[in-house]
Chains A and B, each alone.
Chain A
Amino acid sequence: MSWPVLYAQLVGANRHSTSLGKVWLSVLFIFRVMVLVVAAESVWGDEQSDFTCNTLQLVFVSTPTLLVAMYVSYRNHSDKKRLLQSSGRAGLLSNKGQEEDLETLKKRRLPVAGALWWTYACSLVFRLLFEGGFMYALYVVYDGFQMPRLVQCDQWPCPNLVDCFISRPTEKTIFTVFMATASSICMVLNMAELSYLVAKAVTRSLCGQKERKTCRKSSRVKTQNKTNQKLLVSA
């Protein structure tokens, strides 16, 4: 499993996330992927299959962020096209100026508004669904989060009811509980981020509904006051 590749993709999309999104990414990589690779894989190392489940969950949960990455690259591509067309028509920009503009286009951070807002919100909803779905699946398939020490089995070709012993059940239970807790923390972060996005959109539309002039003027005055305060403090 090539975690660095996944990490590189997610970090790229992360630039356009909110702060909560960045915290989510850190929690995901440090408390889940890192723990999985460094510790948990060796606990399940002498098992046959149980680890595929956790890895699949992490991959699925990371993929909705790629929706955001795809949308951002689509936006950049169409803006680039527009820039090249307008500069070609005007014929005024030199090569260097055009290169600088293209560089700023690549490096800029898109505000989370409009269609990007919808893409981002959809990716959050999908993340929540995948997390919840996998937690539920784990709970149902393995009858709770505790790993039993002994299972009794009478499947063919076992001659009668036999005792089967699972290796390291306590350690496995500890790690299963740890991963379930980290999953829940990630779900809480995702829900908080979704509420934050919705609240931000609602306030933005309310501000837009009021008289646009007074709103803009008062917000400009507010920003100027804040700047003045900060300049005075830093002096």
Chain B
Amino acid sequence: MPLTPPAEPDPEPKMNWASFYAVISGVNRHSTGIGRIWLSVLFIFRILVLVVAAESVWGDEKSGFICNTQQPGCNSVCYDHFFPISHIRLWALQLILVSTPALLVAMHVAHRRHVDKRLYKLSGRTNPKDLEQIKTQKMKITGALWWTYVISLLFRIVFEVTFMYLFYMIYPGYKMIRLVKCDSYPCPNTVDCFVSRPTEKTVFTVFMLAVSGVCILLNIAEVFFLVGKACGKHLHTAGDSTMGVWIQQKLCSY
């Protein structure tokens, strides 16, 4: 997928989303079509939006959070009380965790390639062209790889749903409040505290929630696709067996 992440104006190179993209997109070759769409949605509508836009919106969340008091420490304590973990960090953790099941598939593919290579060597085919072909050929999602792939999809769905639930528990509702009332120590009484850029934050929160929902739907569709494909293949090859014939007859009678 020819996507280049935006150039960051950093004088010093650091391990960032670009290297993460390189790692994850390697898995892309062995995904289904829906899997590739999911990866594009993840990188364009979530990681890119997070890095390019959302981080600057939440950049002044602490410095822009002002309470109507001169009492030192009140600002800090009230901010901590209402924002236990920032949206940005939660989304970053969500993206990291949601992308990692793809590595299970990458490890399985590497293991299969290793086994194939050994097989070739044992059967005497040590031609370097053959060995190169093993590296570049696309693995079919069958057998144990099918199970690894489906399990990785299920993990992805579980992580996405868990994070959406966590989000709902920590910040009930999608709207960012403009004003919070706080009376934790050392605030002298109930003080008004104002959140910076609440509307812009609401817009981004809604956007990220919507894209999360789309990703969950894509993952569910992919699971159904794989299961359907496997069932279809099983019916086709079990054409001789009585069970297969019975199922085919039943399906054709509708």
Contacts and interface: CB of A to CB of B under 8 A. Distances in A.
A231 B118 CA distance: 12
A178 B93 CA distance: 10
Instruction: Name the interface size band of chain B.
Output: 35 or more
Interface residues of A, number: 40
Interface in B71-95: 72-73, 76-77, 79-80, 83-86, 88-89, 92-93
Given A3-B14, A7-B15, A166-B76, A38 B92 contact: yes
A152 B84 CA distance: 22
Interface in A24-73: 26, 29-31, 33-35, 37-39, 42-43, 46
Contact of A167 (B16, B20, B23, B62): B62
A3 B103 CA distance: 20
Contacts of A43: 86, 89
Contacts of A23: 107
A31 B15 CA distance: 12
Interface of A: 1-4, 7, 19, 22-23, 26, 29-31, 33-35, 37-39, 42-43, 46, 149-150, 163-171, 174-175, 178, 223, 227, 230-231, 234
Nearest to B19: A4
Contacts of B20: 30, 34
Q: Which 7 A-B pairs have the closest CB atoms?
A: A3-B15, A165-B73, A170-B84, A165-B76, A39-B89, A39-B92, A227-B122
A58 to B, nearest CB: 11
Contacts of A164: 73
B96 A165 contact: no
